[in-house]
Amino acid sequence: MGHSVETVQQEVQQALTMPVLTPYKMGRFNLSHRMVMPPMTRQRSWNNIPQPHAAVYYSQRASKGGLIISEATVISEAARGYKDTPGIWSKEQVEAWKPIVDAVHAKGGIFFCQIWHVGRASTYEYQPNGQAPISSTSNELKPQLQANADEPAKFSPPRRLATDEIPQVVDQYRLAARNAMEAGKFLSPFKHHKLTDLL
């Protein structure tokens, strides 16, 4: 059975008035719809340097006025916990992000950076000089199954962060935020908005 032209037009009109498809003003950003590409860890940034193929990946998913949140991007060498995740703490990383961000902007997309510190979800292997991962606790994480591995991930016992070390981590976040902005990305899409406001 076919649908009449009028029925199809009504269905299209209903779809167009669905809240998720309506524009939204988020601070200074005008989103053309309320669907957001969330962060998805890809682990394809060799030596924590974003690779050129990421420009293709993100630009294929970009749309005019659409919001993309980058994969989790580590703030420092000590913030790492997974192989080949991108970083944003060095000049080389900032320069590597620029053409990726430019590719998204060329399609009219809006690109936010999710800056990240894994805390105790790390191992000695990923820490500078093989030190213990830092955390708010010295409690060790139990092994966890990962989608991209045959065996569960095992974590090294963490070291509880001392109170006087907190400013150092805050400074790492501050530098990462500045570097993300230098690369052309923005931060905290939900800083002044609840997720439910977008839906």
Note whether 189 and 112 are within 8 A (CB): yes
Spacing of C-alpha 196 from chain mean position: 19
Note whether 67 and 58 are within 8 A (CB): no
- Alpha carbons within 13 A on the beta-carbon side of 48: 21
Q: Which residue has the tokens 């839906």?
A: 199
**Can you give the pLDDT of all 199 residues of the chain as single tens digits?**
567 888 878 877 776 678 888 999 999 999 999 999 999 988 999 999 999 999 999 999 999 999 999 999 999 999 999 999 999 999 999 999 999 999 999 999 999 999 999 999 999 999 999 999 999 999 999 998 876 677 888 999 999 999 999 999 999 999 999 999 999 987 544 443 333 333 3
Beta partners for 134?
A: 159
For residues 76-97, one letter each, b for 16 or more C-beta atoms within 10 angstroms of the residue's C-beta and e for the rest, the string is: bebbbbbeebbbbbeeebbebb
- Over the stretch 146-155, which tens digit does the pLDDT of each residue have? 766 778 889 9
Q: Give the predicted TM-score (pTM) of the model.
A: 0.83
- DSSP at 87: B
